[in-house]
Amino acid sequence: MRVTVQSRAGHYFVDIAPGLLDGLGEDPASAGLSGRVAVVTDANVRPLWGERVRGALGRAGVETVLLEIPPGEGSKTLARADALWTGLIESGFGRADTVLALGGGVVGDLAGFVSATFHRGMRLVQAPTTLLAQVDSSIGGKVAIDHRLGKNLIGAFHPPARVMADVSTLRTLPARERWNGLAEVVKTALVLDSELFSELETALPALGAGQMDDAGWLGVVGRTAALKGRLVSEDELERGPRTLLNFGHTVGHALEAATGHGPLTHGEAVVLGMRAALAVSRRLGRLDAGEERRALSVLEHFPVPRSVPRPDRVEVRAALGRDKKAAAGHIRYVVLEGLGHGVVEPALSEELIGYAIDRALEAL
């Protein structure tokens, strides 16, 4: 399956199929690769897919250098970016070469940020290996590192030359990572596609349990990626409809920051944020009680995160105010006007902000 995404730099393709990584060496140029290739991956992905990708490219005569980072959100730092810049400089990489981001959202964000800034921008190919990265973070060109005061505050828009989403990699995902990605699938359905949401009401338990073959994952990833690709093509710089994809992220990002970027996965934080957003949607009269119950029933399938320090309400509010979605002191907040129909509240009242935070903390 192929999704076409429009960007300021021209269009690029998101290819979704099993076996794409093993086939990289068959025609590297068609995969967006040029020059020498810096394969950026983490210590979890390297033994599963890193050496296979290097082997495939090596057989095609492509020179590769592997740059490894520790797994987890804690790697999205300026120090890790500096280590990657140093690796690129010491290995003699230039603007005509390619960074291949092989891994989940952390690898994609960090490698993308390094690619966007090295020599003022070099070619980037995203090869996402997690569900979350395949349906969300690898598409759209947003790349970033975290600051101690907030998530993704230091970044750029740097569209990839290609996204290669090999659904075969989803077979190796641990359960927590499957649910992490499914949070973004549910989010996308809630704001954009009521039919997909209805299907998830039945299919979500089997998806979370990993009871899905490559063809099944191709359908899930392909549909969700196509929805995101459509919004990105309409609004690459997130000044209009793309903002809808922040449903659940306003409070979710604040919880990630307030708990120290690590105890909560991104998806777990977004589920808490979606619970808050559903409560606000109902409070505003935008969502009826039956629709709220249906959405909450789906979110009940997500495992409750364990051993997470409960942040103080004041800490969460402070983190929320530093988020990118805060503008001129106002908090933009995505709510639902029905299942599959998200809208943006341009300035949520302070009372409703507190209400949202309280609902998320109650569920933690």
Asked if 234 is an active-site residue, the reply is no
Question: Are 99 and 66 contacting, i.e. CB atoms less than 8 angstroms apart?
Answer: no
Asked if 301 is an active-site residue, the reply is no
Choosing from 8, 90, 120, 148, the catalytic residue is 120
Asked if 253 is an active-site residue, the reply is yes
Choosing from 158, 187, 223, 228, the catalytic residue is 228
Report residue 341: phi and psi, to 5°.
-140, 95
Asked if 120 is an active-site residue, the reply is yes
Choosing from 123, 187, 253, 324, the catalytic residue is 253
Choosing from 46, 123, 142, 325, the catalytic residue is 142
Q: Which two tokens stand for residue 256?
A: 């990630």
Choosing from 187, 223, 246, 325, the catalytic residue is 246
Choosing from 73, 177, 236, 238, the catalytic residue is 238
Q: Are strands 162-166 and 123-128 parallel, antiparallel or unpaired?
A: parallel
Asked if 249 is an active-site residue, the reply is yes
Choosing from 151, 249, 317, 324, the catalytic residue is 249
Distance CA 78, CA 93 (A): 20
Asked if 242 is an active-site residue, the reply is yes
Choosing from 46, 151, 223, 242, the catalytic residue is 242
For 17, 18, 341, the CA distances from 21, given in Å and listed in that order, are 10, 8, 35
Choosing from 158, 187, 223, 266, the catalytic residue is 266
Supply the residues annotated as catalytic: 120, 142, 184, 228, 238, 242, 246, 249, 253, 266
